[in-house]
Amino acid sequence: MHASTAPLFGWHDHSALRDALAAAAEDAIIYDLDGIGRQYAALCAELPGAAIRFAMKACPVDEVLDHLARLGSGFDAASPQEIVQALRTGVAPELIHYGNTVKSDRNIAEAYRLGVRDFATDSREDVAAIAEHAPGSRVFCRIATTGDGALWGLSHKFGCSPEDALRVLGSARAAGLVPSGLSVHVGSQQMTAEAWGEAIETLAALLETLNWHGIVPDRINLGGGLPALSVLDRRGRPLEPPLDKMLTVIREGVERLRAVNAAPLDFLLEPGRHLVADHGAIRAHVARLTSRHRLDGIREDWLYLSCGKFNGLYEMDQLQYRLEFPTRPGGQFVNAVVAGPTCDSDDAYAQDGMVRVPCTIASGDPVWVHSCGAYAAAYTTQGFNGFAPLPYTCIGGPAPDGGGA
Ligand SMILES: Cc1ncc(COP(=O)(O)O)c(C=O)c1O
């Protein structure tokens, strides 16, 4: 039996983050490095055969990357700029791959100059460019998935059919590249274990075909998609992803794919939100609680916050983050629509996703926004309507002398 990691995940161990939220006098994003480290360790323990390459886009914050690098993580980078940031952690270039199938000649040449030799691809055009600007490199072909079961399917822009993959890896081999492997991404905030099951079946069939054609990959990248655990759906209901089941399917899939391939296979995973989402929070404040009538006569209460879609809560139209009103724990509540501070109508929770808000809440009161550590910093605009990016702080991590936390 596999030991359960439940106590390490999710909503359970957030005392340090809560203390930091309570101590914050001004708005800020706070990342709990120890929480991120525990999440990383738990994932490694669950999937001991897989190397982790953190998808930087989920949290391109130097301290977070430094901490993950110290723990042994590599990085999934999507541009030369991200590669430079990853290298600043001191990680070896071999632990960085260029995971973006979209790249210009210049991007490829720059990544190669920086020492990266692993490139994701999904087209023969991209392979030809890699062969020219990153000669001899390893390529892994991204296979399209349906994205079913995920909040963000990622099914259109990336990945090719298995038939195309044969052509893509064949052209890589012919061009002097190493047709090193296959990758998939089952969609971000994936909510079903079946998505990995289906992807693994597709990969198994494709491995057999590739082997038959004399292409024997040495690695499989099972992508991102592992979920945040403590966010709510658009209407405010807990999402409760079946994490244990997902990990079981992945473990079994690793064995299955190893059994199919004619040579040993290494496995990579490039989680983003799963490592950071539940270990970042925002200290925001109330702009105002208002009440007004819609055109159909129905009264609606609205809670406007100091942060929203353009400065920390980019995904607020697809999910809800748990809110806490630390200075107003009891009393009467109204059900309100929550929105950010800008003059933009997308900057709001779904209108049918009411949140219980204390009636006495006043402009300036602190609000804690939980589990928003993923995609908060990266998706922040430079000053939409003049609202500047939130400053961030990190808690935990190594002691200043370089020792343990
Ligand atoms: C190539 C790649 N890998 C990993 C990720 C991380 O995904 P997630 O945050 O769902 O784990 C993404 C996200 O878009 C991606 O494009």
- In the predicted model, is pLDDT for residue 5 greater than 80? no
Backbone angles phi, psi at 255, to 5 degrees: -65, -45
Inter-residue contact 111 to 157 (CB < 8 Å)? no
Q: How confident is the model at residue 398 (pLDDT cuts 50, 70, 90)?
A: confident
Round to whole Å and give the CA distance between 311 and 378: 10
Amino acid at the residue 347: D
CATH number at residue 353: 2.40.37.10
Assess whether pLDDT exceeds 90 at residue 404: no
Q: Which residues' Cβ are closer than 6 Å to ligand 1? A: 55, 58, 76, 99, 185, 188, 223-226, 270-274
Task: Give the H/E segment covering residue 268.
Answer: strand 266-269
Query: Cβ distance 341 to 306 under 8 Å?
Result: yes
pLDDT at 400: 66
Range of the structural domain that residue 298 is part of: 279-395
Q: Are strands 188-190 and 150-152 parallel, antiparallel or unpaired?
A: antiparallel
- Please state, in angstroms and as integers, the Cα–Cα distance from residue 294 to each residue in 291, 300, 358, following that order: 10, 7, 22
Residue for token digits 């003059």?
Answer: 343
Tokens 């982790």 correspond to 52
Total count of domains within the chain:
2
Let me know if residue 10 belongs to a domain.
no
Kindly report, residue by residue over 340-385, the tens digit of the pLDDT: 999 999 999 998 899 999 999 999 999 999 999 999 999 999 999 9
Same domain, 342 and 252: no
Question: Of 277, 302, 336, which residue is a domain's last?
Answer: 277
Identify whether residues 294 and 229 lie together within a single domain.
no
Higher pLDDT, 344 or 402: 344
Rounded to the nearest 5°, which phi and psi values hold at 292? Answer: -155, 170
Q: For residue 48, give the DSSP letter.
A: T
Average pLDDT over residues 176-205: 98
pLDDT at 227 over 50: yes
Whether 382 and 308 map to the same domain: the answer is: yes
What average pLDDT does the chain have?
A: 94
**pLDDT, tens digit, 9 for 90 and up, residues 7-56:** 333 445 689 999 999 999 999 999 999 999 999 999 999 999 899 999 99
pLDDT at 4: 33
Pocket test for ligand 1, best of 40, 96, 118, 188 (most atoms within 8 A of CB): 188
Task: Kindly give the distance from the C-alpha atom of residue 253 to the centroid of ligand 1, in angstroms, as a whole number.
Answer: 19
Instruction: Assess whether 64 and 161 both reside in one domain.
Output: yes
In the reported structure, the alpha carbon of residue 188 is separated from the centroid of ligand 1 by a whole-number distance in angstroms of: 6
Burial code of 265-292, b = ≥16 C-beta within 10 A, e = fewer? bebbbbbbbbbbbbbbbbbbbbbebeee
What's the pLDDT at 9?
39
Compute the distance between CA of residue 243 and CA of residue 249 in angstroms, rounded to an integer: 10
Tell me the C-alpha distance between 56 and 276, whole Å: 10
Mean pLDDT within 247-253: 98
The alpha carbon of 303 and the centre of ligand 1 are apart by a number of angstroms equal to 31
Q: Are residues 175 and 199 in the same domain?
A: yes
Pocket test for ligand 1, best of 47, 52, 57, 192 (most atoms within 8 A of CB): 57
Position 248, amino acid: T
Phi-psi region of 362 (alpha: psi -120 to 50; beta: other; left: phi over 0): beta
Q: Which among 255, 277, 299 is the end of a domain? A: 277
If one residue of 270, 318, 379 were mutated to test the ligand 1 pocket, choosing by the most ligand atoms within 8 A of its CB, it would be: 270
Confirm whether 403 is domain-assigned.
Answer: no
Whether the pLDDT of residue 6 is over 70: the answer is no
Alpha carbons 164 and 167: distance in angstroms, whole number? 5
Going from the Cα of 271 to the center of ligand 1, the distance in angstroms, rounded, reads 6
* Nearest atom in ligand 1 to 224's CA: 11
pLDDT of amino acid 405: 39
Choosing from 253, 277, 301, the residue where a domain stops is: 277
Residue 120 half-sphere exposure toward CB, CA atoms < 13 A: 27
Domain check: are 204 and 100 in the same one? yes
Note whether residue 133 is domain-resident. yes
Q: Look at ligand 1, atom 12, and give the residue with the nearest C-alpha.
A: 224
Residue 357's pLDDT is what? 97
Q: Pick the residue whose CA is nearest to atom 16 on ligand 1.
A: 100
Same domain membership, residue 283 and residue 184: no
